[in-house]
Chain A
C-alpha cells in the first residue's frame, strides 16, 4: 500500500508495470505509443527520495491561563458553587472529627473567596475552641506534608535561553532542528537522510534519525504514513528531491551530534523555527507544527 503510494507520488514508473494483473494488453496504437514514451526516462532524472523526522517534545507543563481565562473560570466556578446541590456532611464525616473541622474551615475560606467577605454570617464559637481547632488543623497539614514549596514553572534553561535543553518552554511543543552543511552552506533543517533500497519509508526515517542524532534517546515515529512532502527546486541537471516528513516523539535521552556533517542542534518552538529555516521550507512545514 505504502510503496504503491510512493510510486504514485513519484509518477515515473512505466505504465505497463502499473497495469492490474488480470487485464489484457490492448493492441491499440495509442497505448503502444504510451509504452514507447514511458520506457524513455534516463537514469539521471530518477527522483531522489529521502525522509525527515519532525521530532517533537510535547508540553510538560499545563498551560498558564490568560487573564481572560482566569476571569471566565472564576466567574463560572462561582455560578457553579452557587447552584450546586448541598453537600452531605454526615455521610462523609464523623460528627466532630478533625477531618470535618478541617473541611469546614477550608469551605468557609472558599465561600469567602467566591462570594466576598460579607457573604458568610459570623460564627459564634468559643474563641478558645476556634484557636484549638485551627492549631489541630495546622498540625494535620504539617503531618501530611502540605505547604512544601512547589518547583518553579520557569526552568533554569528558560532564564539562560539554553536552546539545547529539553526542559525549556515547558508549556509549548518543541521541535528538533539541526544545523547541517548542504551544498557548501549551513542551513537549519529537520533530521534527514536518504532512502536505501529495500527500506520502507518509516523504517528509513527511524534509521536516519539515529544516524544524525545518535542513539542515546528513546523515540517513537508516529504511524507509517508520511505527514508532508517537500520538493526543493532542483539545480540544473540534478534530479528532483522528494523529502517525506514523519512525526516523532522523544520520550527520554538527548540528541548527540557528531559535529562534522551536523554542526549543531536546537529544540525550538514554531515561531523560532520560522526565523531560522528557508522560506520555501517554512511554507511546507509551518502547518505541520503546533501553535501551542
Chain B
C-alpha cells in the first residue's frame, strides 16, 4: 500500500519520471548495425531549458531595437523603384541577349535599401558562427585535432547531437582553390561550427560573463573610422565579426578545467549573424549585439 502511494506521488511531479515503462515488445533491430530501431522515425528535441538571454531579448531588447532602428515611411505609399541610371547593354541585342549583363559601374549590392521597418522585421540574432583557421594543418593534418576538440568543448555541439537534426556539429573547412605552393582545393585548413537557439545564447552568455571581462587589453570591438565606406557588401549584410587570440581561450571555463589536454590552443573568429539586410544593416546588428553586453569602441 505504501509503495503505491509513493509511486502516485512521484507520478504527479511534473518533471519526474516515476519508473521507466515496462518493455512489453522488443524493438526491431537494424540488420547492419544490430541496433534497435525506435518506433518513431524522427525524435526531435525542441527547447529543453528556459533561456535567460532569449527572455532578455523578448522583454527588453526587441522593443528598444524597434524604436532605435525605426525609419519612418508614410503608410499606403509604395516605394519608388530606383531610377535606372546605370547603363546596360541592350538585352534584346543578339550579342548580349544570353550573356551576363551587369550594370555599368559595378555591382549595386552595397546600395540595396533596407526593407521597411516592421515589428516582425526587428533585428534579431540568427546564428553565431565560430571559425578557426589552422595554418599548420597544411603540412600536418593532425594539427586540426586540437582545435576540433576545443570547439567541441566550447560549444558542446556534435552532429545531430541530442536529437537535433539540423545541427551539423563541428565542420571541417576545406580549401576551395589552388594558390600557388600554398593551398590546394579539398585540403582541410580549419574548423567551424554554427550555433543556433539555445547553444547560441549559452555561448554568448559565457563570452560576455566570463571571457570579455577578464581580457586585459580588450576594450571592445573596434569600430571602423567614420570615413569608411558605407556601401561595401559587409555593411549591408548584417554581420558583426571579431576575433579572440589564442591567449584569450583559457578564459573560457570549458577550456580552463583541462587546458593541458590541448597541445595547441588556437584563436577563433566569431561572427554574429543577424537578420538585418540592406543599407545600415551592420549598424543595426551592432546595436543588437551591444544589447547583449558586447562592448564596442571607436579608435
Interface residues, chain A, with chain B CB atoms under 8 Å away: 5, 58-59, 62-63, 65, 67, 69-74, 76-85, 91-93, 99, 113-119, 173, 222-223, 225, 227, 247, 249, 290, 292
Q: Are A113 and B16 in contact (CB under 8 A)?
A: yes
Q: Is the interface of B mostly helix, strand, loop or mixed?
A: loop
Taking A79-B43, A80-B162, A83-B163 as contacts, is the C-beta distance between A116 and B18 under 8 angstroms? yes
A-B contacts, 12 of them at CB < 8 A, read: A72-B46, A73-B47, A76-B48, A77-B49, A79-B162, A83-B161, A84-B162, A91-B261, A92-B257, A117-B19, A247-B67, A290-B63
Q: Which residues of B contact A83 (CB under 8 A)?
A: 43, 45, 161-163
Set of chain A residues within 8 Å of B47, measured between Cβ atoms: 72-73, 76
CA distance A82 to B55 in the complex (A): 27
CB contact list, B1-30 vs A, under 8 A: 14-20
Quick check: A222 and B67 within 8 Å, CB to CB? yes
List of B residues within 8 angstroms of A119 by Cβ? 20
Q: Which residue of A lies closest to B157 (CB)?
A: A85
How many A-B residue pairs have C-beta atoms within 8 angstroms? Tell me. 101
Q: Do A84 and B60 contact each other (CB < 8 Å), given the known contacts A69-B50, A73-B47, A222-B68?
A: no
Would you give the shortest CB distance from A20 to chain B, in whole angstroms?
16
Q: How far apart sit A69 and B48, CA to CA, in the bound complex (Å)?
A: 9
B138-165 near A? 1/0 per residue, CB < 8 Å: 0000000000010000000010011110
B164 / chain A contacts, CB cutoff of 8 Å? 80
Closest-CB distance, A188 to chain B (whole angstroms): 22
Q: B70 in the interface, Cβ–Cβ < 8 Å? A: yes
CB-based contact A115/B17 at 8 Å: yes
B52 at the interface (CB under 8 A from A): yes
B48, A80: Cβ atoms closer than 8 Å: yes
Question: With A and B bound together, what is the CA distance between A119 and B161 in angstroms?
Answer: 22
- Cβ of A114 to closest chain B Cβ, rounded Å: 7
Q: Are A225 and B59 in contact (CB under 8 A)?
A: no
Top 4 A-B pairs, shortest CB-CB distance: A74-B15, A83-B163, A80-B162, A76-B48
The answer to whether B64 touches A118 (Cβ under 8 A) is: no
With A79-B163, A85-B158 known to touch, is A292 a contact of B59 (CB < 8 Å)? Answer: yes
Residues of chain A within 8 A (CB-CB) of B58 are 292
Complex contacts, A225 vs chain B, CB 8 Å: 67, 70, 72
- The residue of chain A having its C-beta at the shortest distance from the C-beta of B260 within the complex is A94
Partner of A223, one of B15, B55, B67, B149: B67
Residue of B nearest to A59 (CB): B59
Q: Are A247 and B63 in contact (CB under 8 A)?
A: yes
B258 beta carbon closer than 8 Å to chain A: yes
Closest chain B residue, CB of each to CB of A112: B17
- Chain A hits for B52, CB < 8 A: 62
Specify the chain B residue showing the minimal Cβ separation from A94: B258
In the complex formed, the residue of B with least CB distance to A92 is: B258
Check B258–A70 contact: CB distance below 8 A. no
Per-position binary interface string of chain B over residues 202-222, scored 1 when its CB falls under 8 Å from any chain A CB and 0 otherwise: 000000000000000000000
Q: How far is the CB of A56 from chain B (nearest CB, A)?
A: 8
Closest residue of A by beta carbon distance from B162: A80
Please name 6 further chain A to chain B contacts, defined as beta carbons within 8 Å, in addition to the given A82-B163, A83-B161, sorted by A numbering: A63-B55, A74-B16, A79-B43, A222-B64, A249-B64, A292-B59
Which of A73, A85, A227 is the one whose CB lies under 8 Å from B161? A85
Most buried by B among A5, A83, A119: A83
B49 to A: closest C-beta gap in Å = 6
Write the nearest CB–CB distance from A4 to chain B, whole angstroms. 10
Docked complex Cα distance between A65 and B70 (Å): 32
A223 touches B68 (CB 8 A): yes
Complexed CA–CA distance, A63 and B60 (Å) = 13
Which A residues are CB-close (under 8 A) to B14? 67, 70-71, 74
- Cross-chain contact A73 with B20 (CB below 8 angstroms): no
Q: Cβ of A77: which chain B residues have Cβ within 8 Å of it?
A: 48-49
Point out which of B55, B149, B162 has the most chain A C-beta atoms below 10 A from its C-beta.
B162
A84 to B149, CA, bound (A): 17
Q: How far is the CB of A129 from chain B (nearest CB, A)?
A: 25
A173: chain B residues at CB < 8 Å are: 59-60
**Are the C-beta atoms of B60 and A59 separated by less than 8 Å?**
yes
* In the bound complex, CA of A219 to CA of B94 (Å): 66
A72 to B49, CA, bound (A): 9
Chain A contacts of B162 at CB under 8 A? 79-81, 83-85
